[in-house]
Amino acid sequence: MNHIDDSAELYALGALDDLERRRIDAHVATCAPCARLLGDAELAVTHAIEADPQYEPSLALRSRLAGSLEAMQPKARRAPQAGWIAIAAAFAILALPTGFLARDYMVMHAYIASDQMLMQKMANGSLASATFQPMKPSMPAMSAHVMYAKSGDFYAVVVKHPMRSLQVAYVRPDGTMETIGKLEMQGDMGVAVMPIDHKMLKLALIDGGDVVAEANLAFD
C-alpha cells in the first residue's frame, strides 16, 4: 500500500469506512513515518473530543473489562492446547467433508494462536465457512475455503495446493473488487488471515488480475 498521506486526518476524524481503516492499521503497523502522521492527526481530533461534553462510565465497566481479560488469560496459561483443540474441532466440523487434515489445522493454529479473542470466538462456535468455487470448469481442481466469524470481523482463507501465491479480494455488491490479503505459503498450503471488521458477502481469489474462484458468504 502507498503511504497514507491525507487519509491520516480522515481516519482520525472517523471519515473512513471500516475496510479503509483496517488497511491503514495494517500499513502503519510497519511504517513508522505514517504512524507518526496518524498520531499527529489523532492528537488534533482528540482536542475536539475533549471539547465535547464529558461523562463518566459506570463502575461496572471496569469490572466487566477486568473479567473479560481474566477470562481470556487463564485459559492460555493453564491449557495451551485447549485453543488448538477448539480450532481443530471448529475446522473439522466446518471443513471435514473437504478433506482437511490435522496438519492443516496446525497451520491455522500457528497463525492465530496469539489472538485470544479469536480463540474465544472459535471456542464458542461463532464461526462459519464457505467453499471457493472455480470460475471456469477447465481450471485445475483447487481446495479452497474461507472460515469466518459470523460477526463479520474475521476471515481466514486456506487454499490447498495453490497454483501460486494468490490474492484475496472483497467483491463489493456493485461488482467492484478490493484486494484485502495475500496467501502466504505454508508447505503446500496458502493461508491468509484477515481481521477485517466488515461483513463481506463475496470473496474472490485473484491470480495475476484474473478471478480464479469465488465464495459466497452468509451472515445472520
Q: What are phi and psi of 40, to 5 degrees?
A: -65, -45
The residue range among 62-70, 130-138, 175-183, 211-219 that interacts with other proteins, by the rule CB under 8 A, is 62-70
220 binds other proteins (CB under 8 A): no
User: How many other β-carbons are positioned within 10 Å of the β-carbon of residue 67?
Assistant: 10
> 28 or 169: whose CB is closer to other proteins?
28
Q: Which of 2, 3, 23, 32 binds other proteins (CB under 8 A)?
A: 32
Cell of 216: 459466497
> Nearest approach, Cβ of 56 to other proteins (angstroms)?
5
Residue 98 CA neighbour count, 13 Å, CB half? 22
> 34 or 95: whose CB is closer to other proteins?
34
74 binds other proteins (CB under 8 A): no
Q: Which of 17, 136, 138, 140 binds other proteins (CB under 8 A)?
A: 17
For 48-194, strand residue ranges (E) read: 127-131, 133-134, 143-149, 155-160, 167-171, 177-182, 184-186, 189-194
> Nearest approach, Cβ of 45 to other proteins (angstroms)?
6
C-alpha 8/C-alpha 37 separation (Å) is 7
Strand partners of residue 179: 169
List C-alpha distances in Å: 135 to 116, 167, 200, 206, 215: 36, 15, 19, 11, 10
2 binds other proteins (CB under 8 A): no
> 2 or 138: whose CB is closer to other proteins?
2
Size of the site for other proteins (CB under 8 A): 58
Q: By CB under 8 A, name the binding residues for other proteins.
A: 5-18, 21, 25, 28-29, 32, 35-36, 38-58, 60-62, 64-66, 68-69, 72, 114-118, 195, 197
